[in-house]
Amino acid sequence: MVHDVDEAGFQQHVLDRSREVPVVVDFWAAWCGPCRQLGPALEAEAAKRDGDVDLAKVDVDSNQGLAARFGIQGIPAVKAFRDGRVAAEFTGAIPPAQVAAFFDGIVPTEADRLAEADDEESLRRALELDPAQLDAAVKLARLLIANGEGDEARVALERFPDDFTASGLLARLELDAEDAAAPALVAWDDGDHGRALELLQDEIATAGDPGRIDLLRRVMVAIFTELGPGSELAREHRRRLSLAIT
């Protein structure tokens, strides 16, 4: 969808709409030669992705408040909105191939959409289409772990050694069901993060083996990641963990 947007409709047609599909906003003006050069390329890429992205055109001469609000100092200026926020942007006329790459970066792929599902078939298909689809790998690994298929879960996770959640799940696979940490892992699976972290803190406090301590630490870091940077629970346990292992 391509349409003109003014200040009165910006909230509805850009910010609110971006919670459903990405919205690319083209800040332009009729007198701007590069804008006339870039505009057709933007419209062509939006048309190719009909239904997956909107293109909103904002005339900066008629909507100077919007231009000021988003810090537009030169045009054409293009900003992509997702979930009510600017997710990507560029300034100036760029070649059509770069415009296409810009749209590719903000529009969910088929693998991305499949990764939003919770069934094993969809998650496996997502990884077939994009082996680097981290969300699908983590969700699939959780299902496999719950089904007792640890070896296959390990295969799904090992391609993401630098991801905290994947690392934590790999660590839990090293802690077998008879390990004293098993109740903490059950609490994690049940979504009881507070209990899981308390039990893991207790295990770290009594563990003497550095290798086991590291496994427990990795599980805790995965839980911190799930809770998010704004979590007070994560902050408190991160502080306690730091004191326990130093």
The pLDDT tens digits for 161-188 are 899 999 999 999 998 767 888 999 999 9
The pLDDT tens digits for 16-69 are 999 889 999 999 999 999 999 999 999 999 998 878 899 999 999 999 999 999
Other beta carbons within 10 angstroms of residue 148's beta carbon come to: 9
DSSP 50: B
At residue 112 the predicted structure's pLDDT band, cuts being 50, 70 and 90, is confident
**Could you state, in order of their start, the residue ranges of all structural domains in the chain?**
2-107, 109-156, 161-246
Other beta carbons within 10 angstroms of residue 159's beta carbon come to: 13
pLDDT (average), residues 209-236: 94
pLDDT of residue 177: 65
Residue 242 has pLDDT above 80, yes or no: yes
Q: Report the alpha-carbon distance of residue 99 to residue 146 in Å, rounded.
A: 43
DSSP 90: E
Tell whether domain 2-107 is in CATH 3.40.50.720.
Answer: no
At residue 2 the predicted structure's pLDDT band, cuts being 50, 70 and 90, is confident
Measure Cα distances from 109 to 9, 19, 56, 167 in Å.
Answer: 28, 16, 21, 25
The catalytic residues are 32, 35
Residue 118: exposure state from Cβ atoms within 10 A (0-12, 13-18, ≥19)? exposed
pLDDT of residue 197: 97
Q: Taking Cα atoms as reference points, which of 101, 102, 94, 131 lies closest to residue 115?
A: 131
